[in-house]
Structure 1
């Protein structure tokens, strides 16, 4: 019998995660069954369960991978000269989240991960951890845009996250079948209101 390599095992896990991501994006976390995932992966139930003990474990692993590419891309962008501006950073986050490759094939899956934070303590903890890392990175941007102390830079980074999540929802859900409003226009529309405050 040929030896099973770690690379082969990692490839099989990635293939199952990809199948699960596509099923979850189409039907939602809780309407998707393990047989759905097995069918999408082209594997028997025994084959899938060899790698993942439950659907919950698949959900948790997918959720735990969401922010990894975003953090990687943002850290690289922070070293750019000139540094990307706020609208560009938000678009960079969105573009990275929506790359059509495992494990994130759609905006629908991303929104489900955010919803899962409310009911699943492990997903909540992983997203909190990544949010702290995200705020650290975004604070680097806000300090490069303006002369801010650490507390102000982190507060501005939190505002940037709020803008990112709001524009993600608007552009990819509410405007999914329409011409999307650009992130730059949305931010510029707020300028008179912010100044008047």
Structure 2
């Protein structure tokens, strides 16, 4: 019998994950069964269970592999000079989330991940770890954008995460059938409202 190489095992594992993500994107987590994943991957149940002990394990690994490139891209962007602005950072997060190596949209999958976090403790813990790392990176961006102390920078980073998630939902759910509103437009519009509110509803003087 030919020797099974680590490269072969990694390729098989990646094939199962790709098949599962396709199935989850079109049918959802809860209506997809392990036999469905086996059929999508073109493998026997024994072949799939050799790599994963169940559907939850596949979901967790897919969520991990989706967020890792985002964190890597943000770390690289943090070293850029000049630093990308808030809207550019949001766009970078979205571009990285929405494509994999084959330029396949992962929007339906990521939306399901965030919904599943509510009642899946294992997935929630996984995403909490990524969120903590994301918060650290975005705090560093905030300190480059403005002279902020650590607490203020982390508060700004939380606001940026909220804007990123909200913009993702706006562009990929609410505006799915039309022209999506850019992150820059949304941020500019919100900034105008916040500035007017801070000044009692008066227009901020323009230069």
Q: Which residue of 1 aligns with 2:36?
A: 36
CA distance in 2, matches of 1:62, 1:103: 16
1:43-122 equivalent positions in 2, closer than 5 A: 43-101=43-101, 105-122=105-122
Q: In 2, are the aligned partners of 1:38 and 1:48 still within 8 Å (CA)?
A: yes
CA distance in 2, matches of 1:153, 1:179: 33
CA distance in 2, matches of 1:53, 1:102: 26
Once the two structures are TM-superposed, the CA of residue 107 in structure 1 deviates from its matched residue by: 0.8
For residue 118 of structure 2, give the secondary structure of its aligned residue in structure 1. helix
CA distance in 2, matches of 1:127, 1:75: 18
Segments of structure 2 that go 5 or more residues without pairing to the other structure are: 199-207
CA distance in 1, matches of 2:87, 2:117: 26
Q: In 2, are the aligned partners of 1:94 and 1:168 still within 8 Å (CA)?
A: yes
Evaluate the alpha carbon distance shift between residue 166 and residue 154 of structure 1 in structure 2; reply closer, same or farther with a 3 A threshold: same
CA distance in 1, matches of 2:102, 2:40: 14
RMSD in angstroms over aligned alpha carbons?
Answer: 1.4
CA distance in 2, matches of 1:7, 1:100: 20
CA distance in 2, matches of 1:188, 1:147: 21
Once the two structures are TM-superposed, the CA of residue 6 in structure 1 deviates from its matched residue by: 1.2
CA distance in 1, matches of 2:105, 2:119: 22
After TM superposition, the score normalised by the length of structure 2 is 0.91
After TM superposition, the score normalised by the length of structure 1 is 0.96
For residue 119 of structure 1, give the secondary structure of its aligned residue in structure 2. coil
Once the two structures are TM-superposed, the CA of residue 184 in structure 1 deviates from its matched residue by: 0.5
Q: Write out the 4+ residue segments of structure 1 that deviate beyond 2 Å after TM superposition.
A: 100-106
Return the index of the structure with the highest Cα Rg.
2
Are residue 147 (structure 1) and residue 147 (structure 2) matched?
yes
CA distance in 1, matches of 2:95, 2:64: 18
Once the two structures are TM-superposed, the CA of residue 106 in structure 1 deviates from its matched residue by: 2.2
Listed one character per residue, the Cα deviations across residues 74-108 of structure 1 (whole Å, up to 9, x for unaligned) are: 00000001110100000000000001447974211
CA distance in 2, matches of 1:64, 1:39: 23
Q: Which residue of 2 aligns with 1:183?
A: 183
Q: In 2, are the aligned partners of 1:86 and 1:160 still within 8 Å (CA)?
A: yes
Segments of structure 1 that go 5 or more residues without pairing to the other structure are: none
Which structure has more RCO (C-alpha within 8 Å, separation ≥ 6)? 1
For residue 67 of structure 1, give the secondary structure of its aligned residue in structure 2. helix
